[in-house]
Amino acid sequence: MLEKPVKPDLKSVLERYPSAQTYRPGDGEKLNRLIIDLMRAGRKTATCAVPDEFADDPDSCPVVGRIDIALDWNSDPALATRTLSLETISYAQMDESRIPAQGEFEDLEDWRRGYRAYYQRQGSFDPEMIFIYERFEVVEDFAAEEPT
């Protein structure tokens, strides 16, 4: 009988990646699951965040080359991701070429609706808002972890 793979706990993951910061994609369980599934499938290799999200903890801001840990909605490690590039871009400057890498949007108009709704739920939408556009790669999927 095959043993079920054991998913590592956050402490052991942070020991493996000592400079990593943690982040939980999305603002609800359903969106979190969708984003992680898209990342896992290789369909999501970019994301956006506003600089204010890192104001309370500047170390949590993405850094090119650093590996960080994406958490599922239960705050368990899901994926290790490496930041490949960062760029600052405004909501108004976002263009069609940056949309496919974000995975969950059909086109620029869909992206605008999605981000407007997301930041309105946060109470912080502004059509002049600035984003950090991050490209990343998945370097480890903790759901596929072998038992130790």
At residue 147, the pLDDT reads 39
At residue 148, the pLDDT reads 38
Average pLDDT of the residues in 50-79: 95
Tens-digit pLDDT profile for residues 92-142? 999 999 999 999 999 999 999 999 999 999 899 999 999 999 999 999 999
Q: Is the pLDDT of residue 146 over 50?
A: no
**Cβ neighbour number for residue 42 with a 10 Å cutoff:** 10
Cβ(138)–Cβ(81) below 8 Å: yes
Single-letter amino acid code for the residue at 88:
T
Give percent of the chain with pLDDT exceeding 70.
93
Tell me how many degrees the CA angle 59-102-6 measures, rounded to the nearest 5: 65
Report the candidate in 24, 22, 36, 51 with the shortest Cα–Cα distance to residue 104.
36
Cβ(145)–Cβ(7) below 8 Å: yes
At residue 3, the pLDDT reads 58
- Please name each of the domains of the chain with its CATH number: 10-140 (3.10.400.10)
At residue 70, the pLDDT reads 98
Q: Is the pLDDT of residue 145 over 60?
A: no
Higher pLDDT, 2 or 108: 108
Q: Is 83 exposed, middle or buried (0-12, 13-18, 19+ CB in 10 A)?
A: middle
Q: What is the pTM of this model?
A: 0.89
Q: Is the pLDDT of residue 26 over 70?
A: yes
At residue 88, the pLDDT reads 97
